[in-house]
Amino acid sequence: MKFIDEAIITVQSGNGGSGCVSFRREKFIPKGGPDGGDGGKGGDVIFLAASSKNTLYHFRFKRQFKAQNGFNGQGSQKTGKNGNDLIIEIPPGTLIFDHNSGYLLKDLTQNGEKFTAAKGGRGGQGNARFKSATHRTPRVSQPGEPGQTIAIRLELKLLADVGIVGLPNAGKSTLIRALSSATPKTGDYPFTTLTPTLGVSRTASGDAFVLADIPGLIAGAHKGAGLGIQFLKHIERTRILVHLIDASAIDINTPLEGYRTINDELFRYNDALVKKPQILALNKMDLPGTKKAVEIFQAAVDNENIMQISALTREGLNGLIAKITEFLAKVHADA
């Protein structure tokens, strides 16, 4: 399924039903009074965060959404039926904006969380409501109030405990496949992954945590280069980062070049991203000739949380999971 993380749609709540003008017509009651009922309320448009959804793809084909109108009132003071609410399911982590003003209406982060974007119109009053001591036969009623029409922009930012970042070909897809049940496409060329991938892994104690493989970033990504800011925003929702580095690609003359490129792009997009707890994972340690480059890298970098792994052979993955568990526990404790 194609990954869609933005959509612009129009939602319209239901109109209220009209009130009824009616008079009692019963045998032996020649002058029955007014008995017109009220109209029913129009249906609301409600967004529901549903974990069964993980993209905004379904909005690619349908962009107009309307709730049911309220039904008109009837005689014998029968109130019209309320219109059915329209429930629109979206993935948890979706921000709802008023498209015209740009104002953030709601950020739905929890499964089952709801937000009423457009309220249905109130039903009009029937003529029974207008009877008084001086006006015994009112022939007036109210029309129902119109519903609301709003242009909505939806923006999805993936929710994950761990964001895996790194240059193209660092092995992010292979790592998330090794750590979880996710099966992203892998290959030995840049930008194999064109969409973020979510996977679920478990700590040694059995607690689950969610990983997000953020597609490869390059210099200038914060300006839109490569896959650009389309995916940088998904990192904002993560609790910690695993910065994956291809150990076989480290240049012994400039060992920190790739490492600094990623961190610089994170900083330029949102400086809060570089303040997230970050684990360095030197990948592809199964390849020959990596040991010397890794020693030089470790001597040059200012980060003590360095793991040596091979996502392909699974070497060091238990240690990486233990380190992730440690970091997540600290983040939870500090929250």
How much is the pLDDT for 200?
Answer: 81
How much is the pLDDT for 40?
Answer: 95
How much is the pLDDT for 160?
Answer: 79
How much is the pLDDT for 262?
Answer: 87
SS (H, E, C) 196-265: CEEEEEECCCCCEEEEEECCCCCCCHHHCCCCCHHHHHHHHHCCEEEEEEEHHHCCCCCCCHHHHHHHHH
How much is the pLDDT for 226?
Answer: 43
User: Which tokens go with 299?
Assistant: 């001597």
3-state secondary structure of 144: coil
Residue type, 194: L
Half-sphere exposure of 288 (CA within 13 A, CB side): 0
d(CA 74, CA 79) in angstroms, rounded, equals 6
Tokens 């009074």, residue? 33
Strands (E), 13-81: 45-49, 64-66
The dihedral through the CA atoms of 25, 27, 30, 34 has a sign that is negative
- Residue ranges of the chain whose pLDDT lies below 50: 1-2, 184-194, 218-229
Domains of the chain: 1-156 (2.70.210.12), 162-334 (3.40.50.300)
Tokens 């064109």, residue? 194
How much is the pLDDT for 49?
Answer: 93
How much is the pLDDT for 182?
Answer: 55
How much is the pLDDT for 218?
Answer: 47
Q: Could you give the strand order of the β-sheet that contains 149-156, starting from the edge strand earlier in sequence?
A: 64-66, 6-12, 149-156, 94-98, 104-108
